[in-house]
Structure 1
Amino acid sequence: MPKSPAPVAPASSIAEFEHSLDELEQLVTRMEGGELSLDESLKSFERGIGLYRHCQTALEQAELRVRLLLDPEAPETAEPFDSHID
Structure 2
Amino acid sequence: MSNAVTQTPDQIVDFEKSLDELEQLVARMEHGDLSLDDSLSSFERGVSLYRNCQSALEQAELRVRLLLDPADPDSAAPFQPEMP
**What is the TM-score of this pair, normalised by structure 2?**
0.86
Instruction: Mark the runs of 5 or more structure 1 residues left unpaired by the alignment.
Output: none
Q: Does 2:20 match 1:22?
A: yes
CA RMSD between the two structures: 1.9
Change (3 A) 1:57 1:82: closer
- The structure with the largest alpha-carbon Rg is 1
Q: Which amino acid aligns with 1:62?
A: A
8 Å Cα contact 1:6/1:68 also seen in 2: no
8 Å Cα contact 1:31/1:41 also seen in 2: yes
8 Å Cα contact 1:6/1:69 also seen in 2: no
> Following superposition, which runs of at least 4 residues in structure 1 exceed 4 angstroms of deviation?
80-84
8 Å Cα contact 1:70/1:79 also seen in 2: no
Give the structure with the higher percent helix.
2
Instruction: Mark the runs of 5 or more structure 2 residues left unpaired by the alignment.
Output: none
Identity across aligned pairs (percent)? 64
Q: Which residue of 2 aligns with 1:36?
A: 34
Give aligned pairs, total. 80
Give me the whole-angstrom Cα distance separating, in 1, the residues matched to 2:63 and 2:31: 38
Q: Which residue of 2 aligns with 1:48?
A: 46
CA drift at 1:81 = 7.4
